[in-house]
Amino acid sequence: MYVTPQLAAEYSAIADPYSRLWSPVIRPMALPILEMLPLAKAREILDVGAGTGELFKDLRSRAPHARVTEVDRSQGMLRVAQARGGALLAVMDAQRLALADAAFDVAVCIFVLFHLPDPVKALRELRRVLRPGAEIGTVTWGNDPGPPGVAIWREALDAAGAGPDPRDPSIMQHARMNSAAKVDALLAEAGFTVIRAQGRRVEHRFTVESLLTVQLRCGLASRRLPSLATETQARCRAQVEERLRRLSAEELVYRPEVIFAVARR
């Protein structure tokens, strides 16, 4: 089933809170991939699944002479990116890139592959648009139990009778790429030569307020709560907040594993 437009619509609807609330959490986690790529010599860089363009300044600082092209399936996300200026932007499906063969010498695909129904197809498309010898950097989640409080939310939502997560399983393929070996295999299947694939533990320290805000605007709760009646939603939120406030500062630290991989065309 092809459901990428469905996910694109979801991300368009939350583009502003995503940029303000979730991007500051995950952007620092992705930055190590930029140090692994030959950006200083790059002239044409492709950012696939660029979202709201949070990495543009980071790419430009490391590749001051390069042209950066950012593509994403979500129009709403790219509208936020457009306000930042500087990059070439295009609404585009990563599995069918409307780009010329051998047009780029570096590509990045950050926290995107697991949202694609056919990640190998997308990687083959990325290989097609890269020049011979060009490199790609991918970032995916490794061992990730989810942000603090996810289990609390699930329990409360289930108890309240909330509907299931409306996302289709085909756009939640984390299990296919949650280790260095799995990412290595996907890249090799797409025709790349893997240079390096490794997992690193990263962290972000939440407060109860920042955690609640993220989860209510961008997380699982934001997708399941609307299935409940208004009064039931309020009770569920209150119950979760009460439990979250019992967590220690250490229990509010998010410590996922991130898989970084670099491969050559």
- How does pLDDT run across 77-106, given as a tens digit for each residue? 999 999 888 889 999 999 999 999 999 999
Q: Which token pair is 129?
A: 């648009």
HSE-up of residue 33 (Cα within 13 Å, Cβ side)? 29
Contact 73, 8 (CB under 8 A): yes
SS3 track for the chain? CCCHHHHHHHHHHCHHHHHHHHHHHHHHHHCHHHHCCCHHHCCEEEEECCCCCCCHHHHHHHCCCCEEEEEECCHHHHHHHHHHCCCEEEECECCECCCCCCCEEEEEEECCHHHCCCHHHHHHHHHHHEEEEEEEEEEEECCCCCCCCHHHHHHHHHHHCCCCCCCCHHHCCHHHCCCHHHHHHHHHHCCCEEEEEEEEECCEECCHHHHHHHHHHCCHHHHHHHHCCHHHHHHHHHHHHHHHCCCCCHHHEECCEEEEEEEEC
pLDDT for residue 5: 78
The residue count of the chain comes to 265
Mean pLDDT for 44-51 is: 97
Q: Residue 194, Cβ neighbours under 10 Å: how many?
A: 16
pLDDT for residue 4: 65
Structure confidence by residue, pLDDT tens digits, 171-229: 899 999 999 999 999 999 999 999 999 999 999 999 999 999 999 999 999 999 999 99
Structure confidence by residue, pLDDT tens digits, 33-42: 999 999 999 9
pLDDT for residue 86: 84
Q: Which domains, and CATH codes, for the chain? A: 4-145+169-205+254-264 (3.40.50.150)
Q: What is the share, in percent, of the chain residues with pLDDT greater than 70?
A: 98
Task: Band the pLDDT of 169: cuts 50, 70, 90.
Answer: confident
Q: Is the pLDDT of residue 29 over 70?
A: yes
Structure confidence by residue, pLDDT tens digits, 53-80: 999 999 999 999 999 999 999 999 999 9
- Give strand pairing partners of 70: 47, 89
Cα–Cα distance measured from residue 126 to residue 109, given in angstroms and rounded to the nearest whole number: 9
Q: Is the pLDDT of residue 129 over 60?
A: yes
